[in-house]
Chains A and B, each alone.
Chain A
Amino acid sequence: MQTVFSIAVDALAYGMVLFVISIGLSVTMGLMRVVNLAHGAFAMIAGYLASYAARDLGLGYAAGILIAVVGTVIIAIPLERFLYRRLYGATELTQVLMTIGITFCVIGIANFIFGPTLKTIPLPPALQGSVDLGFRSIAAHRVFAIVCGLVVALALWFLIERTAFGIRLRAAVDNAAMAAALGVRTEVVYAVSFAVAIGLAALGGVVGAELLPVEPYYALRYMVTFLVVVSVGGAGSIPGALLACLVLGAIDTTGRYLAPEYGEFFFYLAVIVIVTLFPRGLLGRSKQ
């Protein structure tokens, strides 16, 4: 029984880390309809910025996160203006080609500037060490990731479902022409959404760095994981992404505990079953 609890805790922690890292992609793919394979590249840029600020400049973890999120968004703004804007409404294949190109560039540049080794973001003392749950201990930074995930989920849900901006965004997504006719400045809405998505990628990259350490190949290494999480959850659905992360986290963690050798099989078979049963994702928006 204790083992079951223990696995459940691991699954929750892993799932929430996945959620924090992937949710930004769910926004780009579901709400902006851009298959952004460069999502990981932005998370990685944030990781480098945080590492530089917190470790090399010694500014501390909180400042590191802030600098990483703001800095990554600033880097992303010209990219949105000159590259991504061309992708809105383009075919999926075109989006794949462009964003993979961007990813290659970012990898090359990161390798050139920061070198190929792993970079870490030093944790504040409060997040180091373990938290005792009674029957086992869990790393403090994982608890932090869980909290971050919940806060992000709530904030995003509120932003999209409960604010005027959210209404505009959903209108722009569902029918850009109609929204424009109603006075919604779709370009601005898209730019802001993109910034939000990139900010989330950045936050995820920093918070998840304990599990997925920052190095130049980060941008491609986890791309598949992000894509799977988003589509299993249903692109654009915040609760869906949350559910997908918890389900996939549970399957992955349990599979790895019971039969680590066949962990990959478990995971991808589960993905096939879920995607076949729920082609729009677990809680996907019904409109294609």
Chain B
Amino acid sequence: MSTLFEVRNLRKNFGGLAVTNDVSIGLAPGDRVALIGPNGAGKTTFVNLVTGNLKPDSGNVFLGNEDITTLRAAERVRRGLIRSFQVTRLFLDMTPEEHVALAILQREGQAGRVVGHYSGRPALMQEVREILHQFGLLELSNIKAQEIAYGQQRLLEIALALALRPKVLLLDEPAAGVPQSETARIEAALKRLPADLAVLMIDHDMDLVFRFAKRVIVLAAGTVIFDGLPKDVIADARVREAYLGNYADAGSVA
């Protein structure tokens, strides 16, 4: 399988401390990969480096054949590298319909238009409804985001990302803060993500990770200490060490 997205030898120091230490990861179309790691492993920093919100000290990020290391965050998004947020970031004053419509308009390069209303475009409205339907949000399409339940806000968050037609999707704890009763719906939505999409999910809900991911990467102290099949991860000595004791050793092994 060809590589769609690749991080090569990525490194970031904060005041002499290597928060991301020589990380290399590759994703192919259709990949379902989970990135896990104990608290403070550097997951958030890694996401920010990939999305372009932080500048790496060294190393490169590739999307397709293009080196996107120096591109700004917005540019990366336009090339198909999309993320969702751990804490919901929505436009509370807007409806789900407006959210998705805006995302589609942006994808099509139409978001700068100063005239017209999206509802006047049948094709766009059709797609909006399809996406909302896919996430079970159609009934809520004209209710302001601040008035819908948190679980549904999380779904909208993913719907929004999907509407941008990502090639690579970074999901940052998609089920965080959602009551147990509603996680099933989120999981179901994740299952229905387009097959050719490469997904990197950052999470520490192990149940979710094992049901979703075909591959697991473990980050500890800024270093990749495991990259393999889910069934092997529990047995891995370094992972056990990282989670259960002595972090420093885990770093030195890499």
A and B touching (C-beta < 8 Å)? no
A interface with B by C-beta (< 8 Å):
none
B interface with A by C-beta (< 8 Å):
none
